[in-house]
Chain A
């Protein structure tokens, strides 16, 4: 087989070597065996014999044949095969445990998938994960690695629960979420976009046009400087009250514009109107009298 750039290539014949070397290779590649070696004093202990681990692509070529410390990456059409035999440590006889599970656990989300491994009565176990037909027990995956561990339990023997390797699978759909689940967490803040403030034209333009509006006054003032108006009878007691009431009406109008309301202004206007009637009659009759003299 051609060895590619970054994939390790292990000769299959390695596993056909003598028993001690095979055991040594088992110790190197499977930390759980190291664990069992430490507990030699226990009575009923199970161990794994001839574990094999193979990653192959859709055409059957082997891509990787031993797990190392780095995570095992599985592409969309590749498959992972793990085979081993469960034996009693003392007499090397095959044991079919009650529970032989492979557990896939995503630490970041807490999702978990567990699959029992089919073990023959002689203890031979075979596990096959083929990603061209992804099985249902796999938890939802992202780019975070899944921790793969092996759980073996059976009456009268010590249980085994060992981390095997990290597995990186292609992205999957996220776990389905209940539609009400979003209410149980803080939700995104919403702000209302207000209509933009109405734009007011430049004050300078307003000033210019105000100037145009009051320009005739300057003309008037200019003309008056030539021909002054005479207001001789201004302070006679018959005319002044009328002028004052007219002025009061103008003041009322200005005040209405600034702050009053219709009800108030009608009230004040009514009072002022009555007053103006009397002062007006007096003023106009006095002017008329002056004329007819």
Chain B
């Protein structure tokens, strides 16, 4: 039957998770984990189950259930928690994991310290891993645990992914050096005094470090520019997180004290990582866009140059607690571009007071005619990408769209109106006037 320890763990997990948080893309999760190790992560898995996810467990040696069948992904999210496994099955290869992302399935990957195909996967995402067998080591702060088990303190707002305060996190695993890719989002940075090296310190270890650094390139993995847990958001919105080691998820580290009488923040940290990766937090979408003339309501087929056009976008954010999309007015730096090959106009799209989720601005259409696009391209680290493009033609004024009754034309108006009036008067006088007496004239002549 369940041991006391198991009951305590269960109680702890239930006490910690009373909030039901749902993902915006689905609830089915596949967990690839060694069945012998599965109980080590029970707090994490029970936390996910309490939030409403359906977990399916799969051993690395078994090939069912298959993740991708007929170009469709069978699960909404995947967790790969088996770093010691030499191969994870025929259908889990770096290429298939990249294909999972293109099918909009989110992935959490625990990286192994030994050489494995997952190193090639990390390289796909511009992450540079240290040589196999060199985990992250730190001798400070002074503590009783081995040098490979490092407490990392998390500053508030150090990463957009962590939305609440996290107590210090126990970490054990390999660091990742970040390439120059703006889609990478470091979630937990390595401490400044840490570095990657072999665990057993021999007389040649110090020399090896110096030689590795002098070799150039990425010879030395050290310092706070390394990242212990890194997230990556692909251009289609799918998210993948690389965690340096699977121990971050373990029960043992979750219950260990990080500082005097302060429990470690591992549970909160892995919950935040899962919440971000499984599209619960920081998920936005554009509901609809509208455009019309400033004083009108209906969108016009074509606009004329120099028209005053008003553009509005409605944006909502996924609320994981309620499980629904809600209008969101918190974007302060949303921008709108009006482009034809190059942006002609780029203005801020501020939120409208009183209409939640509505962002609106008005501007004057440029002098040039052509086919323009209203483009919203909002990318910020950690948040979903907002992209929208509405094509609209802009035409020159019609023959009667030009300004009329100009003061420069007064002489011409005067002349034309004079002509009309003169014609009317002349015809009136001719028609109505008395005819000259031609008889009299004839008579005068004949006389």
Which A residues are closer than 8 A to B by beta carbons?
Answer: 96-101, 103, 105, 110-119, 121, 136-137, 151, 153-155, 158-159, 161, 176-178, 180-181, 183-184, 186-192, 194-195, 200-201, 203, 206-207, 209-210, 212-214, 216-217, 229-234, 239, 242-243, 246-247, 250, 253-254, 261, 283, 287, 290-291
Whether the Cβ atoms of B180 and A253 lie closer than 8 Å is no
Binds A, one of B38-46, B319-327, B340-348: B340-348
If A116-B209, A178-B182 touch, whether A161 touches B431 (CB-CB below 8 Å) is no
Closest chain A residue, CB of each to CB of B184:
A178
Binds A, one of B98-106, B108-116, B190-198, B286-294: B190-198
Within 8 A of A (CB), among B405-426: 406-415, 417-418, 420-421, 423-424
Which of B213, B414, B423 sits near A116, CB closer than 8 Å?
A: B213
Closest chain B residue, CB of each to CB of A290:
B435
Docked complex Cα distance between A192 and B369 (Å): 13
Within 8 A of A (CB), among B367-408: 367, 377, 379-381, 400, 406-408
Residues of chain B contacted by A101 (CB below 8 angstroms): 193, 195, 222
CB<8 Å pairs between A and B, sample of 10 = A101-B193, A101-B195, A118-B210, A151-B193, A155-B147, A206-B407, A213-B415, A213-B418, A243-B432, A250-B424
Closest chain B residue, CB of each to CB of A157:
B139
Whether the Cβ atoms of A291 and B435 lie closer than 8 Å is yes
Whether the Cβ atoms of A194 and B411 lie closer than 8 Å is no
Residues of chain A contacted by B411 (CB below 8 angstroms): 206, 209-210, 212-213
Query: DSSP class of A's interface residues: helix, strand, loop or mixed?
Result: mixed
Residues of chain B contacted by A191 (CB below 8 angstroms): 345
Within the complex, what minimum Cβ distance (angstroms) separates A55 from chain B?
23
Please name 12 further chain A to chain B contacts, defined as beta carbons within 8 Å, in addition to the given A98-B206, A155-B201, A213-B411, sorted by A numbering: A114-B222, A114-B223, A116-B222, A137-B213, A187-B346, A188-B346, A192-B364, A210-B411, A213-B412, A213-B415, A243-B427, A261-B400
Whether the Cβ atoms of B431 and A136 lie closer than 8 Å is no
Whether the Cβ atoms of A161 and B140 lie closer than 8 Å is yes
Docked complex Cα distance between A191 and B423 (Å): 53
Which B residues are closer than 8 A to A by beta carbons?
Answer: 137-142, 147, 180-182, 192-193, 195, 197, 201, 203, 205-207, 209-210, 213, 216, 220, 222-225, 306, 333, 335, 337, 343-348, 364, 366-367, 377, 379-381, 400, 406-415, 417-418, 420-421, 423-424, 427-429, 431-435, 438
Which of A97, A246, A290 sits near B427, CB closer than 8 Å?
A: A246
Whether the Cβ atoms of B224 and A192 lie closer than 8 Å is no
Whether the Cβ atoms of A239 and B138 lie closer than 8 Å is no
Within the complex, what minimum Cβ distance (angstroms) separates B379 from chain A?
5
If A112-B224, A176-B180 touch, whether A231 touches B429 (CB-CB below 8 Å) is yes
Instruction: Name the 9 nearest CB pairs between A and B, nearest first.
Output: A153-B139, A159-B140, A209-B411, A234-B432, A190-B346, A159-B139, A192-B366, A213-B414, A231-B432
Docked complex Cα distance between A291 and B180 (Å): 104
Docked complex Cα distance between A188 and B216 (Å): 38
Residues of chain B contacted by A234 (CB below 8 angstroms): 428, 432
If A161-B140, A181-B182 touch, whether A229 touches B433 (CB-CB below 8 Å) is yes
Closest chain B residue, CB of each to CB of A217:
B418
Within the complex, what minimum Cβ distance (angstroms) separates B225 from chain A?
5
Whether the Cβ atoms of A158 and B142 lie closer than 8 Å is yes
Docked complex Cα distance between A96 and B424 (Å): 117
Within the complex, what minimum Cβ distance (angstroms) separates A228 from chain B?
11
Closest chain B residue, CB of each to CB of A231:
B432
Closest chain B residue, CB of each to CB of A201:
B408
Whether the Cβ atoms of B344 and A192 lie closer than 8 Å is yes
Whether the Cβ atoms of B410 and A206 lie closer than 8 Å is yes
Whether the Cβ atoms of A194 and B407 lie closer than 8 Å is no
If A115-B213, A230-B434 touch, whether A159 touches B193 (CB-CB below 8 Å) is yes
Within the complex, what minimum Cβ distance (angstroms) separates B121 from chain A?
21
Docked complex Cα distance between A42 and B418 (Å): 112
Which of B192, B380, B417 sits near A112, CB closer than 8 Å?
A: B192
Whether the Cβ atoms of A178 and B181 lie closer than 8 Å is yes
Whether the Cβ atoms of B432 and A195 lie closer than 8 Å is no
Name, among B213, B377, B413, B417, the residue most crowded by chain A CB atoms within 10 Å (CB to CB).
B213
Docked complex Cα distance between A110 and B431 (Å): 98
Within the complex, what minimum Cβ distance (angstroms) separates A95 from chain B?
10
Within the complex, what minimum Cβ distance (angstroms) separates B294 from chain A?
17
Whether the Cβ atoms of A233 and B347 lie closer than 8 Å is no
Residues of chain A contacted by B180 (CB below 8 angstroms): 176-178
Residues of chain A contacted by B400 (CB below 8 angstroms): 261
Whether the Cβ atoms of A96 and B203 lie closer than 8 Å is yes
Which of B139, B408, B429, B434 sits near A200, CB closer than 8 Å?
A: B408
Whether the Cβ atoms of B343 and A207 lie closer than 8 Å is no
Within the complex, what minimum Cβ distance (angstroms) separates B107 from chain A?
22
Which of B348, B366, B415 sits near A189, CB closer than 8 Å?
A: B348
Residues of chain A contacted by B424 (CB below 8 angstroms): 246-247, 250
Residues of chain B contacted by A261 (CB below 8 angstroms): 400
Closest chain A residue, CB of each to CB of B342:
A190
Whether the Cβ atoms of A254 and B432 lie closer than 8 Å is no
Whether the Cβ atoms of B182 and A184 lie closer than 8 Å is yes
Docked complex Cα distance between A290 and B432 (Å): 12
Whether the Cβ atoms of A209 and B410 lie closer than 8 Å is yes
Closest chain A residue, CB of each to CB of B412:
A213
Whether the Cβ atoms of A287 and B428 lie closer than 8 Å is no
Whether the Cβ atoms of A159 and B141 lie closer than 8 Å is yes
Docked complex Cα distance between A166 and B406 (Å): 71
Whether the Cβ atoms of B225 and A231 lie closer than 8 Å is no
Residues of chain A contacted by B344 (CB below 8 angstroms): 190, 192
Residues of chain B contacted by A233 (CB below 8 angstroms): 431-434
